[in-house]
Amino acid sequence: MRESISIVLSGEAGQGLQTVEEFLVETLTQETYVFSSKEVMSRVRGGNNSVEIRVSNQPIQALRYTIDVLFLFNDHALERLLPRLTPQTIIYGEAPFLKSVPSQYKTKEVAFLDLGKQAGNRLYENTAMFGYIAGMIGASVENAKAIITKRFNKRGEDIVTGNLKAFDLGYDLGRQDPDRPKELKPTHFSPKKALTGNDVLSMGAVAGGVNYVAAYPMSPGTTLMTLLEEKSRDFEILVEQAEDEIAALNMVLGAWYAGARALTTTSGGGFALMTEAVSLSGITETPAVIHVAQRPGPATGLPTRTEQADLNLVLYAGHGEFPRMIFAPGRLEDGVEVMSRAFYMADKYQIPVFVLSDQYWLESMSQVDALDFNPKYLESFVVETKRDYQRYAFDKSGISPRGVPGFGLGYVKVDSDEHDEAGGITESFTMRVSMQDKRLHKFDLMKKDIMEPLISGSTKHENLVLSWGSTYGVIEEALDTHPEWDLTHLHFIQVYPLPESLKDIISKAKTIQVIENNATGQFANLIQMTYGVKVNQRILKYNGEPYHIDELITKMEATHE
């Protein structure tokens, strides 16, 4: 039977929540199924942030609203979490932190600070807490200690020994805790790697050949740029902070034009500034890879929160008509696949390709056994030019071979005005139609490269649940625990263009339900438009949080009454 416990750490930014999270997840991922995600306020210090770590005996990639075990890092860490408590929740913390807990809840005082001091330094208190939690849930001591040692090795032997001691002190107490939760160990388990969405996107970019990045910081899109900067020495990547997003995408286009594989990363607001350059990519047939990390809008919205409300923006950005592709990773491994594929498709079809993620997906940690890097995605479509090269030649293949300046004897003339085959400005109506037809014909060519959705659940295909991007894990868990709903789940990793092959399933279905993390059902609208069907039900959430499993089940149950 599927079981899980949810452990929540709550405190201020800078208090070490993330360290405890990383210690725990890195330890647990070697022995069981684990998923973690944080929610933070838009400020540098203070406020209240929390991390949820869910441990299970089955694969897991979703949060739960109600909390089993809560650790408070200060005296004002509880208030925002009160609605998530149940009579079974146990709240841990130093005595003064527990004072504000309403009397109906169970509390347990643990003096983590004293444990730290006992081990030699008050700074070890977080390691003591890690030890306590590890003890409670029966994590492997060896694994935990190896991680502590690795983390502190550089800082000297004393610090390693001190932290290990703090861990032991915490562990022993946790082990003896009479209220500790039942241990959840799967019968068969091979160690896994826990990574964030940002991690896998950065790997995917490298595997797609990225060698130039221009971007302007905007949460939650910035981390990808930072991770690529960290990889820049090993993989020869030029990373440049642009003066604004307008420059960023124009630079990315200049870079592709000159022979790079370039990426920009931003969030909805920054992407809004890029839209003219998206259109430039369209008419000049210059490839571009654009990562849009969604957060709730309009405008500045909720800067550190999550939403899936920029599908329409990305789908329609840019004046005029031209082809594009949009991917939205769901599972962790999808991040590698779509990001590296994005470079390949951009190069192959000479179009802008989008990777549309969101704060929740990017910053959560989940598990993989292995990651596949498809070497095909490094293949370049650039040709060496001949003396009479014409950038926009009407080629049999339907796509004009793309040269880069300086490589070959030809000139590469690229134009944002409507142009002739040589790339010169034209106002000929016939040439306009021929060029527009050539560009739009790529929609047909792209059909053979469209990714099919992931299909799971009932094989009857009568009642469909459709979703895209980061909601994969939570919907899978809901369906897995409710086979009686008899639902078939279609999860889209490529959200545009959509595959024609699904027309049959979708048009024959009795009911179609679409689940999205936005207020209007943007993907549902796209489904209706593409397949000419009516979506019967939209399950939507737009308060800035991702879906929680318990909440989603309640919402879905309501539709089955």
Partner 1 sequence: MSNFEFNHDIDMAWCPGCGNFPLRNILIKALTELQLDPTQVVFSSGIGQAAKMPQYVDASYFNGLHGRGLAVASAISAVNPKLTVIAEGGDGDMYGEGGNHLIHNIRRNPHLVHIVHNNMVYGLTKGQASPTSPIGLVTPLQLDGVYNQPINPMALALAMGATFVARGFSGDQEKTKELIKAAILHNGYAIIDIFHPCVTYNKVNTFAWYKSHTFWLDEAHPKTNKEAAMKLALDEERLACGILYQVEGKAYPQRHPFYQGNLTPFYQRKRDPKDIAKLFNKPKAHS
Nearest distance from C-beta of residue 524 to partner 1, angstroms: 34
Cβ distance to partner 1 smaller for residue 206 or 498: 206
Q: Which residues contact 51 (CB under 8 A, 6 or more apart)?
A: 8, 9, 10, 17, 18, 20, 21, 36, 37, 38
Cβ count near 253 (within 10 Å): 24
Tokens 């142009």 belong to residue: 419
Cβ distance to partner 1 smaller for residue 207 or 495: 207
Cβ–Cβ under 8 Å, residues 206 and 373: no
Nearest distance from C-beta of residue 225 to partner 1, angstroms: 14
Nearest distance from C-beta of residue 210 to partner 1, angstroms: 9
Cβ distance to partner 1 smaller for residue 200 or 553: 200
* DSSP strand pairing (365-368 vs 193-196): antiparallel
Nearest distance from C-beta of residue 214 to partner 1, angstroms: 7
Residue 64 CA, chain-centre distance (Å), reads 18
Nearest distance from C-beta of residue 36 to partner 1, angstroms: 16
Bond before 499 cis per omega within 30 degrees: no
Nearest distance from C-beta of residue 209 to partner 1, angstroms: 5
Q: What span, in angstroms and rounded, lies between the C-alpha atoms of 457 and 471?
A: 15
Cβ count near 510 (within 10 Å): 10
Cβ distance to partner 1 smaller for residue 244 or 452: 244
Q: Which residues contact 309 (CB under 8 A, 6 or more apart)?
A: 268, 294, 296, 297, 517, 518, 519, 520, 522, 542
Nearest distance from C-beta of residue 234 to partner 1, angstroms: 8
Cβ distance to partner 1 smaller for residue 127 or 488: 127
Cβ distance to partner 1 smaller for residue 219 or 416: 416
Cβ–Cβ under 8 Å, residues 450 and 497: yes
Q: What span, in angstroms and rounded, lies between the C-alpha atoms of 517 and 540?
A: 6
Cβ distance to partner 1 smaller for residue 370 or 558: 370
Cβ distance to partner 1 smaller for residue 201 or 524: 201
Q: What span, in angstroms and rounded, lies between the C-alpha atoms of 294 and 397?
A: 36
Q: What span, in angstroms and rounded, lies between the C-alpha atoms of 556 and 561?
A: 9
Q: What span, in angstroms and rounded, lies between the C-alpha atoms of 475 and 269?
A: 28
Cβ distance to partner 1 smaller for residue 166 or 237: 237
Nearest distance from C-beta of residue 347 to partner 1, angstroms: 12
Nearest distance from C-beta of residue 7 to partner 1, angstroms: 22
Nearest distance from C-beta of residue 445 to partner 1, angstroms: 24
Q: Measuring CA to CA, how many Å separate 38 from each of 10, 159, 543?
A: 10, 27, 16
Cβ distance to partner 1 smaller for residue 118 or 161: 161
Q: What span, in angstroms and rounded, lies between the C-alpha atoms of 246 and 287?
A: 16
Give the residue among 403, 400, 396 at the shortest CA–CA distance from 439.
400
Cβ count near 504 (within 10 Å): 11
